[in-house]
Structure 1
């Protein structure tokens, strides 16, 4: 059978899709690639929270699967929202790469005062670390962000370390430890979403990595119970069953944090409920400030 794989057209998306294609071809599977534009790719001049809710990089690919235009799609799993359309299945989750953020800058760290990022999570975590920083919006693909850094529009920018690694980009800076700068749920993970077709799912399941699937499932269970969406300054990270999760105020001055060893999804959901109850005011405040309805 020939599997039709959908992908966004960004350089990183194509590299990630290429990783999946190479693995499938090594198994003797024929593959056809199709590029699909998403709302998140088309609207780049404003912060993501002004476009819409979580899923702006995913919906067009979901629709293409359900309309039988493609058989499956490759995603950065962090982009996939908690609520999924009926008839779709995460058929494979590849071994996780680095979950960490990377602060890119040149020169002495003491000279870094203006940092570019449009992520409310990254902004809040940076301000918690140093309230004197100026955080300015920055969107665009990796090349665009690095170009703006080199032009001097920012002293530093924040990028996902996994993305830099996959693109083969080496740039001065330092890794932000994920235990302190807790990443967004599922960061560093590539997933393959398909129709709930048993024959298709069987082929794609050969790419699945059970240990990564368990960790990201724990993260998603916490995320689903918190129910805050991707614009809340929230980080959730699990490695080998050890969970760290925090919710911050937009200015980084207040924080609710949990840290626990987790064995089951039920335990993860329970911890998510704990975090939701503790952080409810922070979540509501963030959405009111951003002008988004929960």
Structure 2
């Protein structure tokens, strides 16, 4: 059993709050922790779309490297930020019970007057345009406080956020929860994952924090995501609750989509479903990569 667990985190308010949650849970198990803030490329570059700087994985890479170099023992992540391909030598021994997986539309303008919405997500953009092709979707990066400030400064009529972040930060702002059937969340949205080096003592110390039902749902989502590919570049929503899966891939403008809804029995069944969705949506995936300059026509 380790005497002290060194936790690495990004410096944003939400990342720090998530680390506090994990530290408090570990303290309840009699474990001491210390926190180190690690700056990531994604935190440094907020002026361009995520797909131009490497996608969601840029928030994870620096922390992975710090674990592998032995500078920290553990990293706390929003699980949806963790890419499908993972370095050797790492493990994810604990996934916390899921917070709300839903997207939240925050606004001060009357709902029927909203025309400009901010988001940096290709998925959210496509789902919004599917809902209303007349909307203007503008790029929005930054932490929760920055995004809300930009909304209140009048740069947008509304912004889209993960509801889980608001819950963890104890924020209450005007808006509406969006239904998962129409706005299918990103895979693993609303979930905190604890990553550590592949060390038996560390894994055993962290394992009591693992929530088995959430692990199964999120592993099903990740299995589908891994088979589909495309990372955060292809608009894709993948959500599972109690093994009932909703998975979709959309065109960038939201005008076309492929979707599967079914109960899945296990991870192998999820992988089969992911391959089925990937094959059905091959043209949409290729088109998205080409349009975003990630693949030659």
TM range, smaller chain: over 0.9
What secondary structure is seen at the aligned counterpart in 1 of 2:287? helix
For residues 49-64 of structure 1, what are the structure 2 equivalents within 5 Å? 49-64=51-66
Q: CA deviation at 1:53?
A: 4.1
Contact kept in structure 1, 2:84 and 2:225, CA below 8 Å: yes
Cα distance in 1 between the residues matched to 2:179 and 2:4:
41
Counterpart position of 1:139: 141
Q: Which runs of 4+ in 1 moved over 2 A?
A: none
Cα distance in 1 between the residues matched to 2:75 and 2:55:
20
What secondary structure is seen at the aligned counterpart in 2 of 1:34? strand
Counterpart position of 1:258: 260
Counterpart position of 1:222: 224
Equivalent in 233, 239, 250 of residue 231 of structure 1: 233
Equivalent in 117, 123, 126 of residue 125 of structure 2: 123
Q: CA deviation at 1:51?
A: 0.5
Number of corresponding residues: 294
Cα deviation, 1:246-273, whole Å, max 9, x if unaligned, reads 0000000000000010110010000001
What secondary structure is seen at the aligned counterpart in 1 of 2:160? strand
Counterpart position of 1:180: 182
Contact kept in structure 1, 2:240 and 2:246, CA below 8 Å: yes
| TM-score normalized by the length of structure 1 | 0.99
**Are 1:191 and 2:193 matched, yes or no?**
yes
| TM-score normalized by the length of structure 2 | 0.98
Counterpart position of 2:30: 28
**Are 1:270 and 2:272 matched, yes or no?**
yes
Cα deviation, 1:77-96, whole Å, max 9, x if unaligned, reads 00000000000000100000
What secondary structure is seen at the aligned counterpart in 1 of 2:58? coil
Alignment RMSD (CA, Å): 0.9
What secondary structure is seen at the aligned counterpart in 1 of 2:34? strand
Q: CA deviation at 1:108?
A: 2.0
Cα distance in 1 between the residues matched to 2:123 and 2:216:
24
Structure 1: state its 5+ residue gaps: none
Contact kept in structure 1, 2:130 and 2:255, CA below 8 Å: yes
Equivalent in 97, 100, 107 of residue 98 of structure 1: 100
